[in-house]
Structure 1
Amino acid sequence: MPHTTDIDADVLGHWLDKNDAPGQGERPQLELLTGGSQNTLYRVRRGAARMVLRMPGARADTARVDGLLREIRLVRALRGTDVPHAQLIAADDTGAVLDKPFYVMAEIDGWSPMGGGGWQAPFDTDLEARAGLAFQLVEGAARLGSVDWRGQGLDGFGRPDGFHERQVDRWLKFLSAYQVRELPGLDVAAEWLRRNRPAHYTPGIMHGDYQFANVMYAHGAPARLAAIVDWEMTTIGDPLLDLGWALLGYDGENPVTEGFYLDMTGMPTRSALLAHYEKISGRPTDDIQYYLVLANWKLGIMLEKTYAASLAPDSKVDPAVAAAMGPMVPQLMATAAELTRTAGGA
């Protein structure tokens, strides 16, 4: 049964009609999908039509509201592109309709590896089909990074100039606000990144947290990417960092056999994935080692915030998540440092 919500269904229905949303004339039924201080998601039903409404949570601060406005701008820009995503149906930037900005998107009929603890059938047993999931993940990154972001109205969405020059100092400052333990490998990787950053790069849309956890796949084989989701960290930066993020399950040519949050058995070689990315994007991947170091190092810093929060007396972090972060962050730092030793460079 739909959950009780604070949203006036009649007001929403009138607005949906004005914006030519599916289910014209039908009174919407709302079902709470996720709710929290940051974001709230509702499934919206109008007859046979299914949509999803996204808005800031009840206690969201100004930064979260501004973040949602950025998301609205981004999903508008993705209209008409070949990037798999939940198509925007309509958006209210002003907050005049429901007292907060929100947007309504198409509901994706698909599955996430994080939704049920791993690969859905047939990918749980069919390793040849499973390999296609990795190719599709990499292809999604290639398509996103190839969007004509200026032509799609995203000038000013990020600061591509000096992107790599800012990375190390920015994330070390971020970490300094909450670091609670020594992280061996942190400084080794940081110094290597300073010395080996790319001299030139072609800016593009960068998701910022691009991995299996943030995509949805269509049901059944062959593998098909249905949607990229969770755009909170998206900016105009270096799209090759998304590729590095997509390869987090690799510390060499072959996928890792342990320590990753998914079973990578049967996945393609790294070289095969790089070749596929180059074919789709036209971007060379010669400097991939830099992006792999940066991806592991940066993710470790991001996840350390969750671990640090879990140590607070009033922590609301899921104990299972906290237990996973304990060893995962040092492993990411160790991997980043080890990759610098195998990469060469200055």
Structure 2
Amino acid sequence: MTGQAVPDFDWLAAAHPRRLSAWMDEHGLESGPLRGFERLAGGTQNLIVRFQRGNRSFVLRRPPLYPRPDGDKTILREARVLGALAGSRVPHPGLIASCGDTVVIGSAFYLMEPVEGFNPSGKPLPREYAENVDWRRRMGFAMVDALLALGEIVPEQVGLDGFGKPLTFLERQVPRWRAHLEACPSSAAWQGPEGLVGLDELGRILENQRPLVFEPGVLHGDFHLANVMFRHDCSELAAVIDWELATLGDPLLDLGWLVATWPDETGHGAGTIQVSPWDGFPTAQQLLDHYAAGSRRDLSRIDWYIALANYKLAVMLEASHARSCAGRAPREIGERHHASALRLVQNGLAKLAT
């Protein structure tokens, strides 16, 4: 992990480092002063910091200083998932402990084991990867293997009973994300949902062609190249990170999301995903073939899941555009996101064209 030194951590512990130390004492988590604070990148808003106590390193994750109303709940859900994955074949940060008492640092939080690795998006790959085309090819298949391992998890056997409503998962998707767009801040500069040309048509087709039967399981919810870390010594995953959208539903949507965000021949993927060098990586079809070879799940309707992923991601990017039009985000970024959202809608329509 990489980050930057933090001279103090008022932003982290709400000016109560002694309370965090006392809480760690109660849980038998080393002893002595907290030291070596380092702010880490990860997620879009949640705050992550690495620090040491005694002979051990810890990573703390909490909601942003001005969180959404469900910020504490989301953090505790993440912790629950990480705890449930313990002992599985899914690469993930190991959960140490979680805390729902907001008195300790001003919000819910959890502690996890540090992950030694790197994220491949946004800057050139490390030398070992840049010089070895076989390593780059393996990177794509390693991501699919993580999804295959996640698909093997039986929620009831790992304490995830009631973590979601899997039986109605697919039928909730289009209405939920359409409502998300309608709830965006209105402004004279934003045309509203109607400005995302083709979205309603894509939504109607998705609803009309929605699979009626699927095998429920655990979803990561945002599985792509910017949410994984690779090992330095070999082309395997060190961890899948940022589990804030995890739920129970149809795991094939994670596969569809991976394909929908997968870079083209230039190394540019959806949103800000960019990988260099890109040559040697598997194609999206090769990812699907690798998944099919290792799973019993029926992929005959995978184009529907890819189209749904395009729909969902288009809404998320258009919501960013709406915020920028309302002055809550840089306008230039909002315009880029709007252009990407329009392309994603057309990609989704093309997937479902008959």
Q: TM-score range by the shorter chain?
A: 0.7 to 0.9
Q: Which of the residues 231, 242, 254 maps onto 2:254?
A: 242
Quote the residue 2:302 is aligned against.
Answer: 288
Moved more, 2-11 or 211-220: 2-11
Deviation at 1:36, TM superposition (A): 11
| Contact 2:31 2:54 (8 Å CA) reproduced | no
Deviation at 1:118, TM superposition (A): 4.7
Q: Does 1:168 align with 2:181?
A: no
Quote the residue 1:89 is aligned against.
Answer: 96
Alignment of 1:222-241 (within 5 A): 222-241=234-253
Q: Deviations over 1:35-81 (max 9, x none)?
A: 99953222111255322111223322431111112112222211221
Deviation at 1:183, TM superposition (A): 2.3
Moved more, 261-270 or 69-78: 261-270
Q: Which of the residues 331, 345, 354 maps onto 1:333?
A: 345
Quote the residue 1:134 is aligned against.
Answer: 140
Q: Structure 1-normalised TM-score?
A: 0.86
Cα distance, 1:19–1:181 mapped onto 2, change above 3 Å: same
Q: How many residues align?
A: 333
Alignment of 1:139-288 (within 5 A): 139-178=145-184, 179=192, 182-220=195-233, 222-249=234-261, 255-257=264-266, 260=269, 261-263=273-275, 264-288=278-302
Q: Which segments of 5 or more consecutive residues in structure 2 lack a partner in the other structure?
A: 185-191
Quote the residue 2:321 is aligned against.
Answer: 307
Deviation at 1:234, TM superposition (A): 1.0
Q: Distance in 1 between matches of 2:114 and 2:333?
A: 28
Q: Does 1:71 align with 2:84?
A: no
Cα distance, 1:28–1:155 mapped onto 2, change above 3 Å: same
SS of residue matched to 2:288: helix
Q: Which segments of 5 or more consecutive residues in structure 1 lack a partner in the other structure?
A: none
Cα distance, 1:49–1:321 mapped onto 2, change above 3 Å: farther
Deviation at 1:323, TM superposition (A): 4.5
Q: Distance in 2 between matches of 1:308 and 1:65?
A: 25
**Which one-letter code corresponds to 1:74 in the other structure?**
V
**Which one-letter code corresponds to 1:4 in the other structure?**
D
| Contact 2:206 2:304 (8 Å CA) reproduced | yes
Query: Quick one: percent identity of the two aligned structures?
Result: 35
Cα distance, 1:65–1:280 mapped onto 2, change above 3 Å: same
Cα distance, 1:40–1:235 mapped onto 2, change above 3 Å: same
Cα distance, 1:181–1:258 mapped onto 2, change above 3 Å: farther
Q: Deviations over 1:268-325 (max 9, x none)?
A: 233432232234443232211111111111111111111111122x3334x5633531
SS of residue matched to 2:38: strand
Deviation at 1:146, TM superposition (A): 1.7
Quote the residue 2:33 is aligned against.
Answer: 27
RMSD of aligned residue pairs (Cα, Å): 2.6
Quote the residue 1:5 is aligned against.
Answer: 9
Q: Distance in 2 between matches of 1:120 and 1:320?
A: 30
Deviation at 1:173, TM superposition (A): 1.9
| Contact 1:259 1:328 (8 Å CA) reproduced | no
| Contact 1:51 1:104 (8 Å CA) reproduced | yes
Q: Structure 2-normalised TM-score?
A: 0.85
Deviation at 1:193, TM superposition (A): 0.9
